[in-house]
Structure formats: structure tokens, C-alpha cells
Amino acid sequence: MQGLSRLTTFQICVYRLRDEQVVRGESLLGGGLPMDVLTEGVELSHADLALLAELAKGVTVDRVGRRLDISGRTVRRRLRGICDRIGVATAIEAVAWAARRQLI
């Protein structure tokens, strides 16, 4: 049980570090380019922003699906597409990206 707690704490620290990098505008993809340069001209639909806003509330993917009347699998697929378009690796980074731009 204690090992699981440590792993969770470690994961939280990693996510916070990534989140801070996104907020500062650093690229998580390497190369030293600012994230704004990498995502210039990216547009998200209202549905994409609604999905990210629900995730920002800390809601699970399956619950987001129920609230938006779509399946959890569809939520994951759309989230992967959002992450690919804006150039981030995780849902947390996508939420931070949208929040930094005051989209959600």
C-alpha cells in the first residue's frame, strides 16, 4: 500500500512539472522552441473546449462521456486528436494549454 502511495505522489510531481512547463510556454517536445510557435494557428471547436473544460473540473473520462452524451471511448479518441493537434502528450497538458490561453 505504501508503494502505491509513493508512486501516486511521484506521478503527481511529474504532472506538476509538466504543467509548469506548459504554463511557462516551454516546449515539451524538445528543441527549445516556445510552445506558442509550435501551436500557432491551431483552432479547437466548441465541442473540444467543452470536453477540456469537463476534464479541468477533475471529472473522469467516462463521466465526461455521460455528460456530453458520448461514449468514454469517443472521449478518449477525441482527446487524443486534440492532443495531437496542439502538440502535447497528455490530457493534463491539453487542459493546461487551453487554460493558459483562457479558452476554458
Q: For residues 97, 12, 89 and 31, what is the CA-based torsion angle, rounded to 10 degrees?
A: 80
65: its cell numbers: 462521456
Among 16-20, 28-32, 69-73, 84-88, the minimum mean pLDDT is found in 28-32
- Does residue 58 or residue 2 have the better pLDDT? 58
Q: Please give the backbone phi and psi of residue 30, each rounded to the nearest 5 degrees, phi first.
A: 90, 175
Buried b (16+ CB within 10 A) or exposed e, 44-60: beeebeebbbbbbeeee
**Residue position matching grid coordinates 517536445:** 29
Q: Is the pLDDT of residue 104 over 70?
A: yes
What pTM, to 2 d.p., does this model score? 0.61
Question: Mean pLDDT over all residues of the chain?
Answer: 77
Q: Is the pLDDT of residue 82 over 60?
A: yes
CATH classification for the domain delimited by 2-100, as one of 3.30.56.10, 1.10.10.1200, 1.10.10.10, 3.20.20.80 = 1.10.10.10
DSSP 70: S
Q: Where are the domains of the chain?
A: 2-100
